[in-house]
Chains A and B, each alone.
Chain A
Amino acid sequence: MSILELRDVEVEYLRRDGAVLRAVAGASLRVEAGEIVGLVGETGCGKSSLARAMVGLVATSRGEVRFESQPVHPLGRRARPARETRLQMVFQNPYGSLNPRRRIGDQIADALVNSGDRSRSPRRQRVMELLFRVGLSPDTADRHPHQLSGGQRQRVAIARALAADPSVIVLDEPLSALDASVQAQVANLLVELARDLGMAMVLISHDLAIVRHVAHRTAVMYLGLIVETAPTDQLWEAPLHPYTRALIDAIPHPDGSGQLPEALAGEIPDPANPPPGCRFHPRCPLAFDRCRIEAPPLMEVANGRDVACWLHIPSTPSVPIGQTTPVESVA
């Protein structure tokens, strides 16, 4: 049983001009206990909206999010059910999510109180344990956020999420505000935490290269849809979706070879007015007639490999994932 499960999730916003913007247009994803899933995609692909839907920060307009087999409640006026505190989120900019006027130790203690601290040890000691867990020195507890570096603040944000003893943490671009040397420190910390605490993580990032190092499985999003999911190493070695291929080829490598990365033609279309058929077809170098008319469903084409591309879906009409296994259905 997956610990976090998204089925056909749609997230819609009403734009100021009255148009309905479907930021997430039917995404399905499963996260197993202790697994790190990378969710990659470019600006406007809906990855942050999907992340917010995962933890109930935005309501889904269709589909369902289930955490530990129970539906996740969108955040409302009432306190969230206690069991949902085990589903935590870490944001990109820790400076925006930490209170600038409270000491780090107090903020972590708040998180302990809010999540109904179940441990018997004195609270101060729990705070110290959490700081140690994320590699911060005990004297950090008496500091204010502005006295810390970006990397340290991100560690505090992670410590605060850990205070709730989560089984899943959703991290929205937790590394992108950090310098390379510090980014590696935090990336390694995430891997360590998942391994030592058996915690599942969803790592949302635009940086494929770092996701490759951290995630067990990677899902690629394009214009509101998940177009490919695969074990990370397989995704890199043999990407199936042309968009995944383009993303990988566009990464410049610091090898001193002077090689220019490949550019992808065209622009991401307006999500309020997506192209018909496969949403990637106007930019796809391999598109053919069917792609322009009919949207390919996300289907399992090999063990653990799902792709939404007519090139890889056998021409004989086969059954989309949603109809074979009731857990995962596809738009």
Chain B
Amino acid sequence: MKPLLEVADLRISLPGPHGMVPIVDGVDFEVHGGQIFGLAGESGCGKTITALSLLGLLPAQARTSGRAEFGGRNLLTLKSAELRHVRGRQVAMVFQDPTSSLHPMLSIEHQLTEHPRVHLHMDQKQARRRALDLLEQVRIPDPETALHAYPHQFSGGMRQRIQIAMALACEPSLLIADEPTTALDVTVQAGILRLINGLRQTAGLAVILITHDLGVLSALADTVTVMYAGRVVEAGSTAHVLQRSRHPYTRGLLDSLPHPEKPDQPLVPIRGTPPSPAERPPGCVFHTRCMYAVENCRREVPPLIELSPGRVAACPVDPFATELVA
């Protein structure tokens, strides 16, 4: 089956004090209809920039190359008028902080009816009905009252639900959710995760879920791509990537997290800190922090090796090979 979105060799650079700095350095992934695709990595790995590039939301000075094919078109080369049609209509985005993406001075009704009016050419009455449906869909209690309220009258979790409702207003086929639960409490987060999962099941929505939280990925994502310093280090089905990680970075991230079943196991952090985009090391970008690095890692950029269909890892050393056989 043809993927809904196919990203190939995506490269993005942004201007720095000493010339262009590569932020994203050759990223490939596919998103299929009705699937949740997880994009994981720590701050600064390029995951948000990757998402923004798909919607043409990068700063004007950014330089982009590669392909992002969606519905037979390359999103990276669309003109702004065409992009406007894609945004909201076909691809929608939900951000981490709903406080800053909802307008504080406009009523929920105003904000929720705008998309259907502009994109679907509904009149106010139709758009209002649509807004009520949407609020019900994201389980806002008492939607009628909610329409007249303003963002500050809702809790963080409710605001995030409203933001999701806005994103769903024109029935997009792809939702990009950038750390949608990071600002929320854990009990509220669980509700949002269940909501996103429900939308995938009932509306057949495809989701790009961007998060640093491997627990969130594990709960929702079908497939995962792990990024480090602008490159893909590992990808595959969520179960494979989390249970049989092949890349030392993925393994290191998992070892640094508290393990639910092994509370007595000490946390094993990854030594050092992620390099800034302007100071990425030559060879494998992870070699400076990797316990398994060999001489070659310092010189050559490791290619993504296909282990099985859809399962790749960029580590020729493969330190966990014996463990996997056993």
Assembly CA distance A260 to B213 (angstroms): 14
Q: How far is the CA of A260 from the CA of B197 in the complex (A)?
A: 9
Which of B94-102, B238-246, B317-325 contacts the other chain?
B238-246
- A-contact bits for B202-229, CB 8 A (1 contact / 0 none): 0000000000111111111000000000
Other-chain residue from B191, B218, B240, B274 in contact with A253 (beta carbon distance below 8 A): B218
Is the Cβ of B186 less than 8 Å from the Cβ of A250? yes
Q: Are B156 and A252 in contact (CB under 8 A)?
A: no
A149, A188, A207, A250: the one contacting B269 at CB < 8 Å is A188
Q: Is the interface of B mostly helix, strand, loop or mixed?
A: helix
Q: Which residues of A contact B156 (CB under 8 A)?
A: 43
Question: Given B155, B157, B193, B241, which contacts A260 in the complex, CB threshold below 8 Å?
Answer: B193
Q: Give the residue of A151, A181, A185, A207 whose beta carbon is less than 8 angstroms from that of B253.
A: A181
* Nearest-neighbor residue (CB-CB) of A252 within chain B: B215
Q: Which of A15-23, A111-119, A263-271, A315-323 contacts B (4 or more CB under 8 A)?
A: A263-271
Q: Which A residues lie within 8 Å of B155 (CB)?
A: 267-268
**In the complex the two chains form, what is the Cα distance from A181 to B44 in whole Å?**
13
- Which of B193, B212, B243, B258 meets A261, CB within 8 Å? B193
A259 x B219 contact (CB < 8 A) = yes
For residue A246, CB closer than 8 A to chain B, the reply is: yes
B52 at the interface (CB under 8 A from A): no
Could you mark each residue 184-207 of chain B with 1 if its beta carbon is under 8 Å from any beta carbon of chain A, else 0? 011111110110010000000000
Contacting B187 at CB < 8 Å: which of A233, A250, A253, A255?
A250
Do the beta carbons of B158 and A267 come within 8 Å of each other? yes
Q: How large is the interface on B (under 10, 10 to 19, 20 to 34, 35 or more residues)?
A: 35 or more
Closest B residue by C-beta to A270 = B155
A-B contact pairs, 23 of them (CB 8 A): A179-B274, A184-B270, A187-B267, A206-B186, A209-B257, A209-B260, A210-B258, A212-B263, A213-B258, A213-B263, A250-B186, A251-B186, A251-B215, A254-B257, A255-B243, A258-B238, A259-B219, A260-B194, A260-B219, A261-B189, A261-B190, A263-B187, A263-B194
Query: Is B258 within 8 A of A250, CB to CB?
Result: no
| Residues in A whose Cβ lies below 8 Å from that of B217 | 254
Q: Does A247 contact B (CB under 8 A)?
A: yes
A254 near B256 with CB under 8 A, answer no
Assess whether B212 is in contact with A260, with CB atoms less than 8 Å apart: no
- Give bound CA distance, A185 to B260, whole Å: 18
- Chain A positions within 8 Å of B, measured between CB atoms, are 42-43, 149, 151-152, 179-185, 187-188, 206-210, 212-213, 233, 236, 246-247, 249-264, 267-268
On chain A, the residues within 8 Å of B282 by CB distance are: none
Q: How far is the CB of B97 from chain A (nearest CB, A)?
A: 13
B193 pairs with A180, CB closer than 8 A? no
Q: In this assembly, does B61 line the interface, its C-beta being within 8 Å of a C-beta of chain A?
A: no
With a cutoff of 8 Å between Cβ atoms, the chain B residues found around residue A253 in the complex are 215, 218, 260
| Contact present for A247 and B269 (CB under 8 Å) | no
B219 pairs with A256, CB closer than 8 A:
no
